[in-house]
A = this chain, B = another copy of it.
Amino acid sequence: MDDHVIEARDHFIQGISRISSFWGFPKAMGAIFAVTYLSAEPVTLDELVKEAGVSKGAVSTNIRNLERLGVVHKKLKVGDRKDYYVAETDFWKIAKGILREREKNEFDLAIRSVGESLELLNSEVDQTTDVETSAFYKERMLALKKFFDSLDNLVATLLVIDDLKSNVVKTMFSKN
């Protein structure tokens, strides 16, 4: 293969790896996706081991996460025990998948803890001390909770946008 092509490919893989790690995913995950994305044919686990330069175990776990996020798709061939993977090419779909995944898991779990803190304050029928402090905490925590709720609505709204509407978004923010 032409040197320039190889160089471009390597540079691309490296770039995707950085993007991956920037968004809080493993670098290897990015490399694995990049290889899959640059492959015209479905790729096997062993090919990914070779092309992405990571161990079989790492490919196994990372590709599974990629599939869970909808970033790649598993394709089985009849009479073939191997798993084949192809990259999702609709990046808006990918973005939605990732957002949806973050929505559950850690995200609103952490957000929920703000609500819980607030409830702790509200259930505090005590008359002991520091009414002022308690009131101030309530005010601040409530303000943050409201922000999170709005954000939640925003994301939820984006998630229910179907393909038709999403095309509107694509058109709006594309230059050509």
Contact = CB atoms under 8 A, between A and B. Distances in A.
A113 B11 contact: yes
7 closest Cβ pairs, A-B complex: A15-B113, A8-B120, A12-B117, A4-B124, A91-B147, A18-B110, A19-B110
20 contacts: A1-B133, A2-B128, A2-B130, A4-B120, A4-B126, A5-B121, A5-B124, A5-B133, A5-B137, A8-B137, A9-B137, A12-B117, A15-B111, A15-B117, A18-B106, A38-B136, A91-B147, A92-B147, A150-B170, A154-B173
Contact of A4 (B7, B15, B16, B121): B121
Is the contact region of chain A dominated by helix, strand, or loop, or is it mixed?
helix
A51 interface: no
Contacts of A129: 1-2
Given A110-B19, A130-B2, A117 B11 contact: yes
Contacts of A146: 174
Give the number of copies in the complex: 2
A12 B113 contact: yes
With a 10 A CB-CB cut-off, give which of A9, A15, A151 has the most chain B CB atoms: A15
Interface string A84-122: 000001011000000000000011011101101110110
A112 to B, nearest CB: 8
Contacts of A170: 150
Contacts of A109: 18
Given A106-B22, A110-B18, A144-B91, A5 B116 contact: no
A143 B19 CA distance: 16
A114 B12 contact: yes
A68 to B, nearest CB: 18
A175 interface: yes
